[in-house]
Amino acid sequence: MSTKQKVGWAVVSVLVLFYALFPVASILMTSFKTPADLTSGKFLPTQWVGENYSSIFVGQARDLFVPSLINSIGICLIATAIAVVLATLCAYAIARLDFPGKKMILTVALAVSMFPVVSIVTPLFNLWRQIGLYDTWPGLIIPYLSLTLPISIWTLTAFFQQIPWDLERAAQVDGATTWQAFRKVIVPLALPGVFTTAIIAFFIAWNDFVYGIGLTSTEAARPVPAALAFFTGASQFEDPAGAISAAAIVVTIPVVLLVLLFQRQIVSGLTQGAVKG
């Protein structure tokens, strides 16, 4: 490759990195600004402070942020776990067994993933209030399944269809029991797919906002994205921008870490689930 081409690629790469990371850098900088700096009109803080972070963990914004962080982690993990278990069984059946209605299940999953969340939240708002699920963990976990289940079924089906299932029989021929063949041959092949699906499903639940603000009213169940929108209402802050930015950075870190660690799997999971043929 010529020097000119190398320089060209370097420029292009820098542009792409800038595109992908600039807004993140922007909110990161805001999170380190002092209240006075927030209105300076500058990108970088003139004075770097950690007081925004201390305010959300031990300071005056603690009661808004910490409970919602716990809610988000708990609710998203449970919704992901339920979705992945159900979707694993479902995808195994679709990839492995011959039964009528397979295509219908995949079509329904697709239709559900296209559902406008707002159309679901209105009736649920009313129903949850009547049966006491409003502002509770199960009251969010159940609707979150409408987000996590369809994508889990699609990505897992795509993964499972690529597993060479004949290996299982080969192991049995070699003297393994059915269970041994399944555990020693199929499980190691399937596990990466299940794991990737769990990460993608978790991302999607973690991202939810409409259910979060529509079906909760207090810190009993309110997840982080909804809580961020309510920071503004807490009038004890001079300007909530710093605290919101710090909270935004805190909830972004786990996502970025997962992306960095499992970038290859996430890309293959996303594209296999969505594009076939």
Partner 1 sequence: MSTVVNPNAPGTGPREAAPAPVTGRRSAKPVMSDRARSERKLGWMLAGPAFIMMLLVTMYPILQALWDSLFSFRLTAPGEKEFVFLGNYATVLTDQVFWRDLWITVLITIVTVVVELVLGFALALVMNNAIRNTRGLLRTAILVPYGIITVVSAFAWFYAFDITTGYINNWFSWLPGIGPDFNWFASQWPALFVIMASEIWKTTPFISLLLLSGLAQVPSEYTEAARVDGATWWQRMSRVILPNMKAAIMVAVVFRALDAFRIFDNIFIMTQGQYGTETLSLLAYRTSIGRLEIGLGSAISVILFVCVLLIAFIAIKVFKVDLAGAGKGR
Residues 108-147 touching partner 1, rule: CB under 8 A, are 108-112, 114-127, 142-143, 145-146
- Of the pair 93, 167, the CB lying nearest partner 1 is at 93
- Of the pair 194, 224, the CB lying nearest partner 1 is at 224
Nearest alpha carbon to residue 155 among 186, 198, 117: 198
Q: Is 38:32 a contact under the CB 8 Å cutoff?
A: no
Phi and psi torsions of 47, nearest 5°: -135, 125
CB of 184 to partner 1, least distance (A): 21
| Residue 73 touching partner 1 (CB under 8 A) | no
| Residue 266 touching partner 1 (CB under 8 A) | yes
Structure tokens at 104: 């219908």
Contacting partner 1 (CB under 8 A), which of 77, 81, 105, 163? 105
Residues 11-70 touching partner 1, rule: CB under 8 A, are 12-13, 16-17, 19-21, 23-24, 26-27, 30, 38-39, 41-43
CB of 54 to partner 1, least distance (A): 20
What Rg, from alpha-carbon coordinates, does the chain have?
23
CA 209 to chain CA centroid, Å, is 12
- Of the pair 193, 214, the CB lying nearest partner 1 is at 214
Residues 237-256 touching partner 1, rule: CB under 8 A, are 239, 241, 244-245, 248, 251-252, 255-256
- Complete DSSP assignment for 100-111: TTHHHHHHHHHH
Determine if residue 224 is left, alpha or beta; phi over 0 gives left, psi from -120 to 50 gives alpha, anything else beta. Answer: alpha
Structure tokens at 95: 């990839």
Q: Is 121:211 a contact under the CB 8 Å cutoff?
A: yes
Contacting partner 1 (CB under 8 A), which of 46, 47, 107, 180? 107
User: Measured over all CA atoms, what is the biggest interatomic distance in the chain, rounded to whole angstroms?
Assistant: 74
Q: Is 196:230 a contact under the CB 8 Å cutoff?
A: no
Contacting partner 1 (CB under 8 A), which of 76, 90, 221, 246? 90
Contacting partner 1 (CB under 8 A), which of 74, 102, 137, 230? 102
Q: Please list, in sequence order, all residues whose beta carbon lies within 8 angstroms of the beta carbon of residue 225, skipping any fewer than 6 positions away.
A: 72, 207, 208, 209, 212, 251
Helix axes of 224-231 and 241-274: crossing angle, nearest 10 degrees: 150
- Of the pair 188, 277, the CB lying nearest partner 1 is at 277
Residues 177-216 touching partner 1, rule: CB under 8 A, are 203, 206-207, 209-210, 213-214
Contacting partner 1 (CB under 8 A), which of 34, 54, 161, 172? 161
Q: CA-CA distances (angstroms) from residue 77 to 85, 104, 126, 127?
A: 12, 28, 26, 24
- Of the pair 65, 203, the CB lying nearest partner 1 is at 203
Residues 220-239 touching partner 1, rule: CB under 8 A, are 224-225, 228-229, 239
CB of 14 to partner 1, least distance (A): 10
CB of 171 to partner 1, least distance (A): 20
- Of the pair 116, 175, the CB lying nearest partner 1 is at 116
